[in-house]
Amino acid sequence: MPPRRVIGIDAGGTKLLGGVVDEALVVHHRVHRTWRGEERQETLDIFVEAVEEVRSAAPDVEAVGFGIPALVEWETGVSRWSNHLPLDGVPFRDLMSERLGLPVVVDNDGNASMLAEARAGAARDARHAVLITLGTGIGSGVLIDGNVYRGALGFAPELGHVVLSLDGPECPGACPGVGCFEGEVSGRAIGELGHALAAERPESTLGRRLAEGLELSGGVVTELAHGGDPAARQAVAEVGRRLGFGLVGVANTFNPELIVLGGGAMRAGELLLAPAREVVSAHALPPMRDSVRIVPAEFGDEAGMLGAALLALGVGVA
């Protein structure tokens, strides 16, 4: 009997990744999309088009799983609120199922990523773990006693909107908060801090790029940091320190065996991780500090897609 196959779709604040995935988590076909400020109907159409593209190569798929950047009411599949996409109040599960003619499961994208890492990735041997994804925003998932924790209505954990600084910046997107983890520590934050340091240090490579009117995104700052530019390294290291203070709260609150870090900003590697680990070592409560491990995600950018596929296969649904 051939292995069961489903479609997993992971949507973030700026892009979508999907694929046909089998029971062994082998991805057979992939699809990419980017968001450019579309309205609600256009956004939903992009979800449908992405599914149909990969489905055309695998018409035998049984179901579709979605991980979306939204507060998803677990029992109903309704997207109650989203910081980056126009999905407030959308009956996402039922709407997608009707349009696609397939069973649909939907969850928050951070929960989906946590499920993938817990089942077959960096947290596969853990019973208690926390996942943080650093991208345009911050996604998160929590594993408690071997189960993904979703809270009373399915909205948990949203660690990206824990406040790190009372005097911090307004949170990007639709969040009403200030000084949120997401505003202080993300790929966007690396780019913003790099831009500020470029203005202060015009002799640096960052400064020269700013003077030439070239892009200074988080990815560009990270690339320059790997290339040795001191200003870019300073930007990444400072965001790493901020990350560390956020992880102090995570370690002290959840007492996890490990904290898994994923998302596009993790391309900075040890330039980001080393300062974060130093802060946790210095400031977390000793029992948590001494026991927690801070590790990169194994599935990288594909964790959300694979987790969504696991949901479609019925894993982590109960």
Residue 76's CATH number = 3.30.420.40
The Cα–Cα gap between 186 and 192 comes to 10
pLDDT of residue 317: 60
The answer to whether residues 96 and 151 belong to one domain is: no
Q: How confident is the model at residue 14 (pLDDT cuts 50, 70, 90)?
A: confident
CB atoms near residue 270 (< 10 Å): 11
Average pLDDT, the chain: 93
- pLDDT tens per residue, range 69-99: 999 999 999 999 998 899 999 999 999 999 9
Instruction: Tokens 């994804």: give the residue.
Output: 133
pLDDT at position 135: 84
Q: Tell me: do 273 and 136 sit in the same domain.
A: yes
**33 pairs with which residues across the strands?**
16
Q: Are residues 136 and 96 in the same domain?
A: no
**pLDDT class of 1 with cuts at 50, 70, 90:** low
Mean pLDDT of 108-130: 96
Q: What is the pLDDT of residue 279?
A: 97
Assess whether 159 and 289 both reside in one domain: yes
Residue 94: domain span: 5-114+302-312
Q: What are the tokens at 86? A: 């126009």
Question: Does residue 146 share a domain with residue 88?
Answer: no
Report yes or no on 119 lying in a domain: no
The residues, any chain, with a CB within 8 Å of residue 108's CB and separated by 6 or more, are 67, 68, 69, 70, 71, 72, 139, 141, 150, 154, 155
More confident residue, 37 or 313: 313
Domain count, the chain: 2
- Percent with pLDDT over 90 in the chain: 81
Among 105, 112, 93, which Cα is nearest to 62's?
A: 105
Same domain, 46 and 133: no
- Is residue 293 a contact partner of residue 258, using CB atoms and an 8 Å limit? yes
Residue 39 within any structural domain of the chain: yes
Q: Which of 55, 72, 79, 62 lies closest to 108 in space, CA to CA?
A: 72
pLDDT band with cut points at 50, 70 and 90 for residue 38: confident
Task: Give me the mean pLDDT over the 11-22 stretch.
Answer: 92
Same domain, residue pair 17 and 135: no
What CA–CA distance (Å, rounded) separates 260 from 200? 34
Residue 20 — very low, low, confident or very high, per pLDDT cuts 50/70/90? very high
pLDDT digits (tens, 9 = 90+) for 224-283: 999 999 999 999 999 999 999 999 999 999 999 999 999 888 999 999 999 999 999 999
- Is a pLDDT exceeding 90 seen at residue 39? yes
Q: List, in order, residues 6 or more apart from 239 with CB less than 8 Å away.
A: 184, 185, 189, 190, 193, 265, 272
Residue 318, pLDDT above cutoff 70: no
Pair of tokens at residue 192: 């913003």
- The CA-atom distances, in angstroms, between 223 and each of 219, 229, 299 are 6, 9, 21
Cβ contacts of 228 within 8 Å, gap of 6 or more: none
